[in-house]
Chain A
Amino acid sequence: MALKRYVVGCFDDEEVLFPAVKKVRNAGYKIQDVYTPFPVHGLDHALGMRETSLHTAGFIYGILGTTTALAGMGWVFTKDWPMNIGGKPNFPLPAFIPIVFELTVLFAAVGMVMTFCYLCQLAPFVRKHHFHPRATDDLFVMAIECTDRTNVEDLKGFLQSAGAKEVSYQVAESGWWFGRYDVEPKLYREENPVIG
């Protein structure tokens, strides 16, 4: 894990945020992410993010569930322990369909949730740096990663001209670490230098 340098701009209005995202990207800065209090339609397109492959993963998990159910029940009722149930064949497909359906849904749902948690690095005790606590309340927080050539003061001015209400410079862990928010309260006492 490495420490990285960020310039963080906070916006309080979607209408300002979208043109700002466009301006920042056109100026060649690399936006790490935009943290919003609620899902914002079209922001992923504005940020130029690749379409998620989560649904493809879901499809594969579903197929996996289908085959697991069919193979499992098929093996049990034809090879392992054949039983005569109501005179039906040993591999009664219609009777299996509801279970096949359920397992398909179960695999797809659980698999997608776990994949989502993995992709977002969400797990108990996993901690990540919060750029601004109000990102969960009423601010749209844009984090821009600084490179060696980034002039921090220029970037701050640029963000302010794009409509940012608060601008700050933060050095933060880019990845995640183990910890607990209640025993590590430093995050909320952290005071960022505010300009303007």
Chain B
Amino acid sequence: MIRRLLSGTIYFLSGIIGVLAFTYPFLLPTLNRLGAGSSSALSAAAHQSDAPLLTFIMLVLCLGVLLIEIQGQAVSAKVVAALGILVAITAVLRFLEVAIPGPGGFSLIFAPLIIAGYVFGARFGFLMGTMSMLVSALVTGNVGPWLPYQMFAAGWVGLSAGWLPRVAGSKRQIAMLAAFSFIWGLLFGAIMNLYFWPFISGADGLGWEPGIGIGESVRRYFGFYLATSVIWDLGRSFGNAVLIVVLGMPTVRALSRFRDRFEFKVT
């Protein structure tokens, strides 16, 4: 009981830190304004330079803690082996993607990630998202400060796929997964843009007018997203949905068969 409570606390705190790490550029003008009244508060300019670094450190620590916690709960020999092989397959798909670029931000890795999360559950989906990003960055030489953000965002894709309801009928199932992957195609781009948003906009919103509120910051980001990224991300969304419609059903069936074999236990 205590362990479950502690585990829940770790998931809850990790969730807050993950969301905060992406959305803090929207909060900074407000935080700076609220803090300005305190005599010991640092100036906004001092925070402008260290906010991305502090948030990055917090995100890396949080990712480490979360992985330790999930590792302690979800990992058996079969899970380790299945994850390893599926991650290898997504890494090869990322190689293919470099060789044969698709439209806009289209990527081959989201469809398998969503299907694996849906079939094997939320924890497996989260691990598959984080590990796929890590391994494909290692093998394609794309390690950088963006990696923890990519790992978190891809982890959320797999995690949320595990939360999808189990619907009856294969056509409805595929329609649901295709719609889900379409939404994530746009959402992934929108939240990954946030990683460099502080550098474009100025960490405390100085790039904009100082002192604007959360609502106004979000509205401006939305304008930026529509102007710069939405067409690129639509390529990813349509690509994901088409891949799931064409290859989704046989993949779900094949993985479900293996799920039954993986879950087999002698009692």
Are the chains A and B members of one assembly? no
- B residues near A, CB below 8 A? none
* Chain A residues with a Cβ under 8 A of chain B: none
